[in-house]
Amino acid sequence: MEKQQQHLFIDFEFTMPERNTKYKGFQPEIIEVGIVAVVNDKIRETFSAYVAPNKFPILSERCKSFLHITQEQVDNGITFLGLLEKITEMGSGYSNIVVTWGNMDMKVLKNNCSMAGAAFPHFCSEVDLSMEYKRFFGDQNQTGLWKAVREYGSEGTGKHHRALDDALTTFDIFKFVEKDKRYLGNTETTTIGDLIDLSQFYNKFA
């Protein structure tokens, strides 16, 4: 039996070094996650959590100030392996397409998996919606997430740089783009499940 298609809108926030300071071997680590699971255009589940970093467990002042995240919040967060377990759990039983705004989320996830010696979660495909948005509207430059949603006359969901709010806002833009594609003369009924076939397109920009 063919698995039902599910879109996982994912956003991560990462650690960052102090400005103009070089941390030897520094690599960004996930410290907050927001996931929105969508099936048949409907939100099936959402998940939000802080994640405790491993290699550089002490947050920089710049990171805390920029993301409004405290040391205590990440200290009490789930482990990175716990994050992977949650992603696997939310995707279980479905054919999953991951949608992110920009390519950093998946790059950092893959790198963090490598650092932890853990397997990267299997997805049937990954979509960088910012590149799809750029291609669709012919913009020369990639547009920021919240600038894009404001161009649609919306204010987005919650606060920028809160992972779940950004994931929900990404879903909002995905729906706007779907509506525009219908308006521009797609004679077939488009669903969120078949909106974007980016296998070749994603490989080009991965």
Domain edges within the chain: 4-205
* Residues 133-147 pLDDT 10s: 777 766 655 566 656
Catalytic: which of 7, 13, 32, 132? Answer: 13
* Residues 51-83 pLDDT 10s: 999 999 999 999 999 999 999 999 999 999 999
Chain-centroid distance, C-alpha 114: 19
User: Is residue 13 among the annotated active site residues?
Assistant: yes
* Residues 94-103 pLDDT 10s: 999 999 999 9
Architecture of the domain spanning 4-205: 2-Layer Sandwich (3.30)
* Residues 154-171 pLDDT 10s: 555 545 568 999 999 999
Confidence of residue 132 (pLDDT cuts 50, 70, 90): confident
Mean pLDDT of 192-205: 44
User: Is residue 45 among the annotated active site residues?
Assistant: no
* Residues 24-38 pLDDT 10s: 788 999 999 999 999
Catalytic: which of 85, 151, 161, 178? Answer: 161
- Edge-to-edge strand ranges of the sheet holding 125-128: 42-50, 30-39, 4-14, 94-100, 125-128
Helix (H, G, I), strand (E, B) or coil at 79: coil
pTM for this model (two decimals) = 0.81
